[in-house]
Amino acid sequence: MIALVIAALVIVTTLATGLTLVDSWLRARHALVALRRERALLSAGFVPEIAHREIRLRRAGMRAQRPSLLQQQRPCRALRLRGAA
């Protein structure tokens, strides 16, 4: 009985591993095709355009926030070292 359970677990693990490898291979092949297409377009002189879902737009009523006084860059006073020119 234990041998059957172990054999079933080995079979399930083998199937899962095989399916994972096939899925990874298919995804990698698709990514390679996309990269080759992009490289061909770039070599032809086309400039890629960012997909609209990747561009973050501000909401209509929002203005750009000004940094607070603590966040603003202030000039730092340098310490004079004795003997330095």
Q: Domain spans of the chain?
A: 2-46
What mean pLDDT comes out for the span 5-31? 97
Q: In the structure, what pLDDT confidence band is assigned to residue 13 with cuts at 50, 70 and 90?
A: very high
The whole model's pTM is what?
Answer: 0.50
pLDDT of 6 = 97
**Hey, what are 60's tokens?**
């209509």
Encode pLDDT of 28-76 as tens digits. 999 999 999 989 988 998 877 766 665 666 665 556 566 565 555 555 5
The backbone torsions φ and ψ at residue 36, rounded to the nearest 5 degrees and listed phi first, read: -65, -40
Instruction: Note whether 42 and 34 are within 8 A (CB).
Output: no
